[in-house]
Structure 1
């Protein structure tokens, strides 16, 4: 602070103000104000005169030119001027309190400069984002929690054909492809719940009524969802075209192979049909002649030929990977023991057979008949690779596959039961291993093999959620392992089917509805049921069967073919359950109808029996179902 006093306003100040004066101190002490600050008197003179006239003045952050540290710079001060009176109450001087505010002012200047720079960058960034918004070929949008479009970029017009004012303010559901409405609503709900969507795909409806595929990524801020979508219709169509071409190529390859195989299949089926029809003709003749002693021989011959025809059909269906499986919990050791004698007879005395069973083998869920067929195929292939004799080893084991081992085998990590068949034969080269599971691929001479064996094994195991792997070297034999998932449940003991005459009898009044469009099958099933004491009601198609089901007649079981005309067996069963919720259903199927049967995921009380079946098997299954087993 300082005081200017007297007629010439003599300059008096304290030590703190001396620092403000700098080089002017101490010479300024006792000098008139106008001389001490002669360099800034033109700026401060008017102020002093106003104060000496009785006016108190204050100034904030006033810049004062000063020489400091060898260079000129502005220094800022805040001043407070107050007039001073003498004993006569006349103004004789002034008092000034001053505070240097240079640091404060420079800080504010730096802040304003930073704000200006930031504002310039925001303006630049906003312009850039605006260019992106306007020029992006991706769909950009802002949508609220209610699914209402709040902002859209011009790409929507280019991709979907709508003008923006046709979209903004409306719900996205108004423009979703009908089949994708539920999917899209679920995705929007996830986004609202702060679950960002990445690569979410759906279809929007173009203004011309055709679909457009979009792949979305989203983020959420507050109540708004921000998203960008990439138009992927071309990629989807390209991928679908490739898939169709691949399917057509595979089908062409398969048809070519089937064409090459037709002669052999026709030969086999003609032999089998001859065995069936010839046996039945002789059976009819002998009965007419009264020579009933030979009847069993003809019956057995016909049944044997029919069973071989059924096995060939199953093999062809397995090749297409479309057979209906009947999985059951089993312990593979028991199945191998049951097959051992048959395998020994099949491979012949020149081949030694060793069986190594793992103790405490886990249970697996698999179709026992198909697994038996697969094991027999593997042993026959092993036998054919050892023309001069050798050794076949069948081995079972429990395997726990970690992530690395499972990835190597193209399986999920977990517990598996393995069934491996190894031989001491010629082995396989890598290029043969790569093709071994291809349908109709065989290294055997023409006429010695169809190439369906390993493809059937592969198809069956993959349908059972397992895997097949080949380990082989030329000259060192082969090892083929089936990996089957562990089933956490008890196995089912093998039950021997009774003879038809010994099959369980019906209770009083038990009634079965038989629906099949094949008259012969319908007749046979009905006669078997009536022989066992059941009341059998026949229907030739789903419509006729539905009329019976909608009546008040007693029904304990519905036996229906799956491949019925117009209304298939599953549709009939579903309609039946609407009027008879507890009705038990047995589907009988003769070909690839697993898709109709929901790929094996049947409702409670629904079961499957695959054609051809024995009458004993049919009678036992019907009784089990009616009794609630």
Structure 2
């Protein structure tokens, strides 16, 4: 900024004058204001004023009051069009504003001086050659005498500070020095405020752009997630369809063969066994799917992890083959976990089979158990402090390729040849770990081997170890006990009642919970056991069981379910549970278990 201010001259003037009287305007008088006091007030006002337009007006007001003039103002310049834009001006009482856009040529020829950076002082517009011809115009706006002080930046004429007076006036050097100081301070303050406002607007614009960009990224990520979900669903659907079609082919083919006439008993038995075996494989497949989705119905109990590992290791040795050395390394005495022991055993076997295949049937597999104080950070999850049991299986295979490491737990993802694996083994481990409150981690070194570690919460040992009551295998006579079968699916209801009749029970069917309660209300003593499906329209099997427990506390309830979201999250609410599909033998076992448990049957004396 190029603005020459005669500070020394102003200082000398202030020292000489002390307090300068302000002119009076008509009948009114204003309080005297020295140039020094005016500058102090200006500094205070500039600090408190926010808007650039207000800053210019504050400066004009203080300038006008201190110099005792008719008008004072500040405006921006357009040198091409030779105009000045005055947003606001200060005017003495009785003087009209000239705010707006004015053309310099309409008021004289002094614009040429301003363009050169010279201050224009006019004592009497009628006598000055630059304004003599336009004196009437100037007198009409109370500008018989005036000072126009240019403000320049980088050599350019950009703004103008002016004072007008309606009478002849001789402008002193002190007036000019004071006015230059006002001009400089005002210009700096105005530009600073404008820069601050521009910065605020820029920040607001940047924040808006960042917010918009963030929304765009979130939308892109959501689209990617949806695409990945669709891909996963497609992979899952394709894998299920492939495996179930194979199973249905065996079942359908065996059923067709059973229809043939003159079929030998040996072939008939073989085809029936094929159907039963295939149904079992289908049941296992659905169980693995539910395990991965963390929707399987677990039957948790407190068990010693080390003992289970020792027991399963014998099975693993058989599965691994003679060329795989299986070693157990237990560093945890009485490490108890609260989980489903059968699912734990299945997880160990799945990991062991995966390790065997990774070693191509030859190498060393080490199964170790040890307590830990935290689960490390895994798959973007933070470290979880606490008491856990770590069960690790380390193999000497070729390791896992880096691009496959993140996908090993996906359902149906497998690197094995077609027909040599469903890709659900590790996904079952993943689902079991998550649903049991634990985690699964894989450490890998390509060419050296992989270590899969299953983490389960460590719990206190039970007061008394559970003693398993051996159950007789096969089916047995129901002894004429009476069972109320509640099932909404007509085909399943017929199968259940026929199976119970074959087992020696008397079965009565009800299509839903309301019908079952109606039959019980007639005479609950007619039934010894209620066998109900879980997922039914209206009242669920769990709600039915809870109502029966309230109304008929001595009547035992067995639940059957292929899948239930409630069962997966909260368990069977204390009821005995039979998972679908179930065999005649499995139904017989759960019925006998319920009878032997001592839960009071409704068959009372009299």
Quickly name the TM-score band, shorter chain normalised: 0.5 to 0.7
1:406–1:412 CA contact under 8 A, matched in 2: no
Partner of 2:47: none
Partner of 1:621: 590
Deviations, residues 537-593 of structure 1 (Å, cap 9, x unaligned): 2112233223223322323332111122333222333443453345432211112x1
TM-score (norm 1): 0.53
1:377 offset after TM fit, Å?
Answer: 1.6
2:441 to 466, 469, 479: 469
Q: Kindly indicate whether residue 296 of structure 2 is the aligned counterpart of residue 323 of structure 1.
A: yes
Partner of 2:274: 301
1:499 to 459, 468, 473: 473
Q: Sort the Cα spacing of 1:296 and 1:516 in 2 relative to 1 into closer, same or farther, 3 A.
A: same
Deviations, residues 107-148 of structure 1 (Å, cap 9, x unaligned): xxxxxxxxxxxxxxxxxxxxxxxxxxxxxxxxxxxxxxxxxx
Correspondences of 1:11-30 after superposition (within 5 Å): none
Deviations, residues 69-120 of structure 1 (Å, cap 9, x unaligned): xxxxxxxxxxxxxxxxxxxxxxxxxxxxxxxxxxxxxxxxxxxxxxxxxxxx
1:387 to 344, 356, 360: 360
1:279–1:301 CA contact under 8 A, matched in 2: no
Correspondences of 1:61-210 after superposition (within 5 Å): none
2:352–2:393 CA contact under 8 A, matched in 1: yes
1:479 offset after TM fit, Å?
Answer: 0.9
2:239 to 261, 282, 289: 261
Corresponding pairs, count? 383
Partner of 1:572: 544
Instruction: Provide the C-alpha distance between the structure 2 equivalents of 1:360 and 1:274, rounded to a whole number of angstroms.
Output: 51
Partner of 1:126: none
2:496 to 517, 525, 531: 525
Partner of 1:310: 283
Partner of 1:10: none
Instruction: Provide the C-alpha distance between the structure 1 equivalents of 2:219 and 2:363, rounded to a whole number of angstroms.
Output: 49
1:321 offset after TM fit, Å?
Answer: 2.3
* CA RMSD after TM alignment: 3.9
1:467 offset after TM fit, Å?
Answer: 1.0
1:469 offset after TM fit, Å?
Answer: 1.1
1:410–1:467 CA contact under 8 A, matched in 2: no
1:587 to 541, 556, 559: 559
Partner of 2:524: 553
1:407 offset after TM fit, Å?
Answer: 12
1:538 to 500, 503, 509: 509
Q: Secondary structure at the match of 1:559?
A: strand
1:600 to 570, 574, 584: 570
Instruction: Provide the C-alpha distance between the structure 2 equivalents of 1:501 and 1:313, rounded to a whole number of angstroms.
Output: 25
Q: Secondary structure at the match of 1:486?
A: strand
Kindly indicate whether structure 1 or structure 2 has the higher relative contact order, using CA contacts under 8 Å at least 6 residues apart: 2
Partner of 1:438: 410
1:391 offset after TM fit, Å?
Answer: 1.4
2:298–2:568 CA contact under 8 A, matched in 1: no
Deviations, residues 306-353 of structure 1 (Å, cap 9, x unaligned): 212211121222232222222233333443444344433433333222
TM-score (norm 2): 0.55
1:328–1:491 CA contact under 8 A, matched in 2: no
Q: Which moved more, 1:328-337 or 1:543-552?
A: 328-337
1:497–1:616 CA contact under 8 A, matched in 2: no
2:320–2:361 CA contact under 8 A, matched in 1: no
Q: Kindly indicate whether residue 580 of structure 2 is the aligned counterpart of residue 611 of structure 1.
A: yes
Instruction: Provide the C-alpha distance between the structure 2 equivalents of 1:376 and 1:271, rounded to a whole number of angstroms.
Output: 27
Instruction: Provide the C-alpha distance between the structure 2 equivalents of 1:628 and 1:246, rounded to a whole number of angstroms.
Output: 56
Q: Secondary structure at the match of 2:274?
A: helix
Instruction: Provide the C-alpha distance between the structure 2 equivalents of 1:460 and 1:539, rounded to a whole number of angstroms.
Output: 35
